[in-house]
Amino acid sequence: MNNPVKNNPWLGTPLPGTQAVGQPLTINEQACHELSIRVRDLDLWYGTNQALKSLNIDLFQKNITALIGPSGCGKSTFLRCLNRMNDLIPSVSLSGLVEMDGRDVNSSKMDEIALRRRVGMVFQKPNPFPKSIYENVAYAPRMHDLVSRKVDQDELVEQALRDAGLWEEVKDKLQAPGTSLSGGQQQRLCIARAIAVQPDVILMDEPTSALDPISTATIEDLMDRLKNQFTIITVTHNMQQAARVADYTAFFHLGEIVEYNDTRVMFSTPANKKTEDYISGRYG
Amino acid sequence: MSQTFDDISRQLGRRHRRSARLKWISMSALGLAGLFLLWFFSDMLGKGLPAFQQAYIKTTIQYSQQASQDGRKAIDQALVPLVSRTEVRGIPRLLRNQPARVGTQEFRWLLTKSEVDQYLKGHRHTLNAQEQADIQRRVDSGQIALRFNAAFFTQGDSRIAESAGLLSAVVGTVMTMIVTLSIAFPIGVMTAIYLEEFAPDNWFTQIIEININNLAAIPSILFGLLGLAIFINFFGVPRSSPLAGGMTLALMTLPIIIISTRTALRSVPDSIRHAAFGVGCSQWQVVRDHVLPLAMPGIMTGSIIGLAQAMGETAPLIIVGMVAFIPDVGASFTNAATVMPAQIFTWAGEPEKAFVEKTAGAILVLLAVLISLNAFAVVLRKKFERRW
C-alpha cells in the first residue's frame, strides 16, 4: 500500500495537497512525528454547495496543528469531519477518505460514538453541561464505563482538572455549577471534560475566540502542555495564536488547503502568494 | 430649503395625536375586559359564597325503638317540617348499622330543609307567615343558625338540595385526570421527543406536525364522539366511567402536551447537544441526560396547563355519559362517575332555587382549583427559568 508518510522523501514532513509546497523539518523534529489522521480527496457538500474540495492532509501525533483561513473557508467544517460532527447536519454529504488508526472513520462499520471517544472536541463558545463541575468531568468517563468505583472516579476527575490547569481554582467547589465559572475557566472545564475520557485527538474550534486576552494566554499555555499527551487540531482566526502555539499550520481558502507546513516555515517564508497575503493581513 | 423645528412640530402634532388616540383605545379595551372580569367574579362570589354556609338546627335525637322504623319519631314533632329529609331518613339506617345506640340520645346540629336555608339567606322561598315567625323565633333563640356547609364537601350529589355535595364530582375529576395524565403525558412527551430529536425533516414528519397543530384546534365535542365510537363502542370501555372520560380527555390533551414539549425541547440550546455528542453520547443519552432535564420545567408547565384545560372540559364528557346524577363516590375507574364541570352543568339545570347557589359554589371551587394549577405552572416556570 502506498503509505504517504513512509514514501515521502522527507519522512515526517506533512504531505501537502498538490498545490502546497512543503519544506523539510530537522531530523530531530521528524522523530516524534507519527501519523495520526490521514485525509485523502475529501469533498464535502452542504446540499449542492461544495464546502471542501479535494482535501489532502496528514495530521501528526502529539503536535498542535492550526487551521487558519478567512471566514467561510471550510476550516471548521473540516475539523468537524474528523469526529463526524457533520453527521448532525442532515444536508451534508461527503466523499473521500478520513483515516485514523488504519480505519476509515466515515465507513458504515465505524461507530461514531467510538470515534468521538477517541477524538474529543472543544467548542468555540464554552458549553459546560448545566451540572456541577465534578459532574461535567465525571459524566463521560462514567458513561463510557472507564471507571466503576467512586474513588477511581474522584481520582480521574482530579487528574483531568489538574491536566486542564483548573484543579487549584475549583477544588473547593466541585459541586458548584459549571456555568458559575468565568468564561476562561469554563473553557478549561470543557477541555478537562474532553481529556477525561483519554482521547487520542482533541479538536478545538476557535477555543479562545470568546475569551479575554489573559484567559486566552492561559489556554494557549495549556495547549502547549497538553500536546505531550494528545494530538491537538485547532481552528483559529488569530494568526498570532497559530504562530505562537502551532507546530504545523494549514491555510484554508475557499474550501481548499492552499498551504500546509511547519508553522515557522509557513510564517517566515510562505510558498504561496495567497498565504503570504493572508498572513500579512492583506485580507481575511 | 430646510425645515425649521416649528414646521416639523406642526406635522408631528397629527402623528402624536393619532398614537395618543390608539393608546387610549387599547387602554379602554383593557379596562372593559377588566370590568367584565370583575363583574363575573363579584357575581360568582355573591352567588356562590352563601353555598359554603347552610342552615342547621340544633336538637336532641331520641334513638328509640320507634325511631328505627321511622326517623321522624326521633325528633321533636314540631321540628319535623324543618329538618331535612336526608337527616330523618338517615336515622333508621344508622340504628340498623349500630344497634347498640338504640335507647340512647344525642344532641347535635341537623341540616334543615332548603326552604329554611333560603329564608335565612334572604332568597325566594315558599314559607307562609306562620312558619316564618316560627323559624325567626328559633333563629333568635340560637336553635337555627347558618354554619359552615361541610356536607357540600363531604357528600355526593343529591336530589335534595340541602344535602347535595361536590365530593363525588371531585373524586371523579381526580380519577379522570389520573387516567388522562397517565395516558397523555408519556405518549405526548415521547412523541415530541421523537419529532424534535430523532425524526428526519421530510414531508411525512411535516404532515404529522401540521396535523398535531390542527388537532389542538378541533372542537372538543368531536373528541367525545371519537371516544364514544372507539373506546366505548369498539373497545367496550364502560360508559360514564373515569376510564372512558379520561381516555377521551387524553386525546384532547395530547396535542397540547406535544406542542409544549416540542417548544421546551427546542429552547434547549444546540451547544448542549453538541457538547454531549462531542463526549460520545448516543442520541438517546443526549436526550435523557442533557436535553430532557433542561426541558422538564417547560414540559411540566405545558402538561399542567393541558390538564387544567381538560379539567374544565364538559362537552366530550356529555357524549361519553359522564354528565349524570351520581350520588355515590366512585369506587373504581370503571364505575360510573361525574366530574366537576359536569356537576355544575347538572345543577344548573335543576329547577329548585337552592341549586343556583350550589352551582355558583361549585364554579368557585372549580375556578379556585384551575387558578391554583395555573399559578403552580407559572411558579414552576419562573423557578426553573434559565438564561443562557
* CA-based nearest residue in chain B for residue A131: B290
The minimal CB distance from A90 to the residues B201, B274, B275 is found for: B201
At residue A122, φ and ψ (nearest 5 deg) are -120, 135
The predicted-structure confidence for B188-240, as pLDDT tens digits, reads as follows: 999 999 999 999 888 999 999 999 999 888 999 999 999 999 999 999 999 99
User: Domain extents for chain A?
Assistant: 27-104+113-279
Q: In what order do the strands lie in the sheet with B105-111?
A: B105-111, B53-62, B144-148
Pairing, β A35-46 against β A49-60: antiparallel
A27-104+113-279 CATH choice from 3.20.20.70, 3.40.50.620, 3.40.50.2300, 3.40.50.300: 3.40.50.300
Three-state secondary-structure class, residue A251: strand
Can you tell me the distance from the alpha carbon of B358 to that of B327, in angstroms, rounded to the nearest whole number? 15
Using a CB-CB cut-off of 8 Å, the residues of chain B touching A129 are 272, 275-276, 290
Q: What is the pLDDT of residues B244-271, one digit of tens each?
A: 999 999 999 999 999 999 999 999 999 9
Mutation target to probe the B interface, by most B beta carbons within 10 A, among A105, A143, A204, A233 is A143
Rounded-to-integer distance, Cα A95 and Cα A45, Å: 9
Q: Please tell me the predicted confidence (pLDDT) of residue B229.
A: 94
The full DSSP string for B140-179 is HTTSEEEEE-THHHHS---SSGGG--SHHHHHHHHHHHHH
Categorize the per-residue pLDDT at B386 as very low, low, confident or very high, splitting at 50, 70 and 90.
low
Nearest to A129 among B201, B280, B290 (CB): B290
Go through the domains of chain B in sequence order and give each one's CATH number. Answer: 50-149 (no CATH), 167-384 (1.10.3720.10)
Q: Is B385 on the interface with A (CB under 8 A)?
A: no
Query: In 3-state terms, what secondary structure has residue B79?
Result: helix
Q: Do B277 and A116 touch (CB under 8 A)?
A: yes
Contact B279 A123 (CB under 8 A): no
Q: Distance (Å, rounded) from C-alpha A282 to C-alpha B2?
A: 44
User: Cβ contact (<8 Å) for B280 and A140?
Assistant: yes
Q: Is B279 on the interface with A (CB under 8 A)?
A: yes
As a whole number of angstroms, the distance between CA B183 and CA A156 comes to 43
CA–CA gap between residue A40 and residue B236 (Å, rounded): 65
For residues B52 and B125, the model is more confident at B52
Question: A179 near A128, Cβ under 8 Å?
Answer: yes
**What is the SS3 assignment for B274?**
helix
pLDDT of A260: 92
Contact status, residue A128 vs residue A119, Cβ threshold 8 Å? no
Could you give the CA distance from residue A57 to residue A53 in angstroms, rounded to a whole number? 12
Q: CB A130 to CB B277 under 8 A?
A: no
Query: Quick one: pLDDT at residue A144?
Result: 92
Whether A100 and A37 have beta carbons less than 8 Å apart is answered as yes
pLDDT score for A27: 41
Split at pLDDT 50, 70, 90, the class of B108 is: confident
- DSSP 8-state code for residue A20: -
Percent of chain B with pLDDT over 70: 99
Rounded CA separation A149/B39 (Å): 66
Is the Cβ pair A143, B285 closer than 8 Å?
yes
Phi, psi of A71 (to 5 degrees): -60, 140
pLDDT of residue A3: 43
With beta carbons under 8 A apart, name residues in chain A contacting B385.
none
Of A169, A117, A165, the residue nearest A144 (C-alpha): A117
CB–CB contact B279 A128 (8 Å): no
The pLDDT-based confidence of B13 (bands split at 50, 70, 90) is confident
Residue A131 grid coordinates: 451540572
* Residues of A in Cβ contact (< 8 Å) with B271: 123, 125, 127
Is B351's Cβ below 8 Å from some Cβ in A? no
Tell me if A77 sits within 8 A of A51, measured CB to CB: yes
DSSP state of A259: E
Are the C-beta atoms of B323 and B345 separated by less than 8 Å? yes
* The C-alpha cell that represents B269 in the structure block: 440550546
Q: Which of A88, A125, A139 sits opposite B277 (nearest CB)?
A: A88
Determine the pLDDT at residue A284: 60
Q: In A225-246, which positions are buried (b, 16+ CB within 10 angstroms) versus exposed (e)? A: ebbeebbbbbbbbbbebbbbbb
> What integer is the mean pLDDT of B44-72?
88
Question: Which of A 189-218 lie inside 8 A of B, CB atoms?
Answer: 190, 193-194, 197
Q: What percentage of chain A reaches a pLDDT higher than 70? A: 88
Note whether B134 and B333 are within 8 A (CB): no
Residue A59, number of CB atoms within 10 A of its CB: 23
Q: Does B282 touch chain A (CB under 8 A)?
A: yes
Q: Kindly report the nearest CA distance between residue A136 and chain B, in angstroms.
A: 10
- Helix A150-163 to helix A183-195 angle (10° resolution) is 130
Instruction: Tell me the Ramachandran region of residue A123: left when phi exceeds 0, alpha when psi lies from -120 to 50, beta otherwise.
Output: beta
Q: What is residue B339's predicted lDDT score, i.e. its pLDDT?
A: 93
Q: How far apart are CA B290 and CA B40, in angstroms?
A: 45
Compare CB distances from A117 to B200, B272, B280 and report the shortest one's residue: B280
In terms of Cα–Cα distance, which of A66, A53, A57, A62 is closest to A34? A62
**What does pLDDT average to over chain B?**
90
Report the phi/psi class of residue A12: left, alpha or beta, with left for phi > 0 and alpha for psi in -120 to 50. left
pLDDT band at B123 (very low <50, low <70, confident <90, very high): confident
CA atoms within 13 A on the CB side of A251: 26
Average pLDDT of the residues in B37-64: 90
Q: Calculate the alpha carbon distances from A11 to A22, A164, B36 in Å.
A: 12, 32, 86
A130: which chain B residues are within 8 Å (Cβ-Cβ)? 272, 294, 386
Q: Is the pLDDT of residue B55 over 60?
A: yes
Range B366-377 average pLDDT? 91
* Nine-digit cell string for B341: 364541570
Cell of B157: 350529589
Give which of A44, A34, A108 is closest to A76, Cα–Cα. A44
pLDDT at B348 > cutoff 60: yes
Q: Which residue of chain A is at minimal alpha-carbon distance from B386?
A: A130
Higher pLDDT, A283 or B183: B183
Of B200, B280, B290, the CB nearest to A113: B280
B353 touches chain A (CB under 8 A): no
**What is the mean pLDDT of the segment spanning B61-90?**
86
Q: At residue A254, what are phi and psi to the nearest 5 degrees?
A: 50, 45
Query: Residues of chain A whose pLDDT is less than 70?
Result: 1-33, 284
pLDDT tens, position by position, B284-315 = 999 999 999 999 999 999 999 999 999 999 99
Q: How many CB atoms lie within 10 A of CB B108?
A: 11
Per the CB < 8 A criterion, the answer to whether B96 and B68 are in contact is yes
- Which residues of B, range 235-274, sit inside 8 Å of A by Cβ? 271-274
pTM of the model as a whole: 0.82
The larger pLDDT score, comparing residue A187 to residue B13, is at: A187
B142 touches chain A (CB under 8 A): no
Residues B342, B245: Cα–Cα separation, whole Å: 11
- CB contact (8 A) between residue A123 and residue B278: yes
**Residue among B159, B259, B248 at smallest CA distance from B217:** B259
Mutate to test the interface with A, among B279, B282, B384 (most CBs of A within 10 A): B279
Residue A130 sits at the chain B interface (C-beta within 8 Å): yes
End-to-end CA distance of chain B: 52
